[in-house]
A and B are shown apart, each in its own frame.
Chain A
Amino acid sequence: MKILVTVKRVPDPDQKIKLTADGRQLDLSGLPCVVNPFDAIAVEEALRIRERSSEAGEIVVLSIGAAECEEQLRTALAMGADRGIRVDTPAAADPWNVAAIVQAVVAREQPGLVLMGKQAVDDDSNQVGQFLAARLNWPQATFASKIEFVDGHAEVNRETDSGIERVRIALPAVITTDLRLNEPRYVSLPGIVRARKKPLEVLSLEALGVALQPRVKLLGVTIPTSSRAGTRLRDVDDLVQRLKELKVI
């Protein structure tokens, strides 16, 4: 089975985000970037699906954006994916347009499964997988914490607010990953060397026949600050006293 995995370049989630001097945009200059953690989990899952299956299958990784996204594609290739595609866009596309682009790539590649992170940790939208599944009229299984294949179907455990839900879906399908699906492997040095030689194709929007039509316009950003007093308490009795004042007890 051919698996298409999306890989987004995002600022390292452990770094502190700042605004530009005029306060109107995020200042991402100099911030180290990584593969969106949920997408790394999706790449890892694709590799594991292939490792435990008897049939050979190609793993294609897709990133959308400017040339620097190729760094993240190379990381995915170093993990073990076979081939990379970058769709060249000048600026970040909103989830709607990302779904339109992925759909066009699906039409070209005809994968049996699309694996994507449930959300990108920069935009936190959690929309693209569901948009894509609807556009393709494919089944979706979001927030996956376990994926198994039974009689040509996928059975997926989903993490929901009330616990685990198990769904059964036919293929092709879109599955989005949650944190506990797996722990992505580290890239090895030989992996990095091999990744340099793996094919990485750059496609234009024209070649894919997609015209961007923005549906979300970012107008401004602010950094919320904590205004909490941070009073240090002496001991447990002090805490009991405060809780009484708060009428919690």
Chain B
Amino acid sequence: MRILVVAEHDQGALKGVTLSAVGFARALKDAEPEILLMGHQVGSLAEQLRRYGPVWVADHEALRLAAADRYAEIIRRVAAERQASMVVAAASTFSKDILPRAAALLDGTMGTDVVGVQEENGQLLFLRPVNAGSVVATVALMGEPKVLTLRASAFKSPEPGEPQEVHPIAVDPTSLPNLIEVVRRDSKTSSRPDVTEARVVVSGGRGVKNAEDFERIIGGLADVLHGGVGCSRALVDAGVTSNDLQVGQTGKIAAPDVYFAVGISGAVQHLAGMKDSKVVVVINKDPDAPAFEVADYGLVADLYQAVPELIQKLQPSP
């Protein structure tokens, strides 16, 4: 069974979640994972990826930015040529924009945010969270190719192996659709790891009053723990934080070793994005906050007192 894994990268760096998607593909029976890399001047990424499987590379100026029409068309061509029975990628805004478009071009079938797979009488069944993760559905996907976005936290990255072949794909820009022009992309300047990849994530909610407090308290705790920062939707709506920090049903999925929910009440939509963390620490002044129900450790306290004290006590002694 040939499985095409679509790689994701950002400003020259491979997204680690891509490897979880390779891990998913490798674990299937009779799987032959192949990797598709699209972009411009991505030779060094191909060198990294070939240690995880054969790599097909579409490298062209016309693919510098990920426009859904072009990327979906390249996926269509490669999936058809390679007769892939599955096309998969780690779930992200990149894959959720492009893979459904490719699925439609391929006349395939699709599952979003897949967290597990089972085999039953030779048929693959997929598990995926619905209703903001309060329910897990088991679905069969009829037709081929089966196009999946995968929750990276549910699948292990494989160890790198012997380098496999790299196959360049000829790209003729005049044969590509030209429906979407990417005018600009914000380039992220944060020195902190992304919530999807950090080992420790400290998230703040409406209990944090403003941007300075967020930076000092949430950012400060993240920094002593070398972690990333996240937030609830309430803070993005209030303009305190930027949308790329939002964790939850419609934000990012964080599954770190330790997740701190600070001044976050614990709405299902938020829990949807952090439930799979190994250890959850909740700091909230309301002892009845629903977040405590999903906590390993709960501290009932005012975050404005508890967190600065915690930062100070975690500070490496001079």
Residues of chain A touching chain B, judged by Cβ–Cβ distance below 8 Å, are 11, 13, 16-17, 26, 95-96, 99, 118-119, 121-127, 129-131, 133-135, 137-143, 145, 155, 158-170, 178-180, 214-224, 226, 228-233, 235-240, 242-243, 246, 248-249
* Cβ–Cβ contact A239 & B297, under 8 A: yes
Most buried by B among A26, A125, A130, A138: A130
* Cβ–Cβ contact A161 & B252, under 8 A: yes
Chain B residues near A140: list those with CB within 8 A: 68-69, 97, 101, 179-180
* Cβ–Cβ contact B110 & A127, under 8 A: yes
For the complex formed, measure the closest distance between the CB of B297 and the CB atoms of chain A, giving whole angstroms: 5
* Cβ–Cβ contact B296 & A231, under 8 A: yes
For the complex formed, measure the closest distance between the CB of A155 and the CB atoms of chain B, giving whole angstroms: 7
* Cβ–Cβ contact B242 & A163, under 8 A: yes
Q: What CA separation (Å) do A214 and B142 show in the bound complex?
A: 7
* Cβ–Cβ contact A218 & B258, under 8 A: no
* B207 in the interface (beta carbon within 8 A): no
Identity of the chain A residue whose Cβ is nearest the Cβ of B195 in the assembled complex: A161
* Cβ–Cβ contact B258 & A248, under 8 A: yes
Q: What CA separation (Å) do A223 and B236 show in the bound complex?
A: 29
Cross-interface CB contact of B309 among A130, A180, A236, cutoff 8 Å = A236
Q: What CA separation (Å) do A155 and B183 show in the bound complex?
A: 9
Q: What CA separation (Å) do A40 and B103 show in the bound complex?
A: 27
Q: What CA separation (Å) do A166 and B250 show in the bound complex?
A: 19
Q: What CA separation (Å) do A106 and B297 show in the bound complex?
A: 52
List residues 17-74 of chain B with CB under 8 A from any CB of chain A: 67-69, 72
For the complex formed, measure the closest distance between the CB of B238 and the CB atoms of chain A, giving whole angstroms: 11
Chain B window 127-166, contacts with chain A (Cβ cutoff 8 Å), 1 for yes, 0 for no: 0111111111111111100000000000000000000000
Q: What CA separation (Å) do A249 and B68 show in the bound complex?
A: 42
Chain B residues near A125: list those with CB within 8 A: 110, 112
Selected A-B contacts with CB under 8 Å, 24 pairs: A121-B132, A122-B130, A123-B130, A127-B103, A130-B101, A131-B104, A142-B97, A158-B93, A159-B243, A162-B10, A163-B187, A165-B186, A166-B184, A168-B180, A179-B233, A215-B141, A216-B142, A218-B137, A220-B138, A222-B135, A226-B293, A229-B296, A233-B297, A240-B313
* Cβ–Cβ contact A236 & B181, under 8 A: no
Known: A223-B136, A248-B258. 7 other contacts (CB 8 A): A130-B100, A134-B102, A135-B104, A162-B186, A162-B188, A224-B136, A230-B292
Chain A residues near B72: list those with CB within 8 A: 134
Chain A residues near B142: list those with CB within 8 A: 214-217
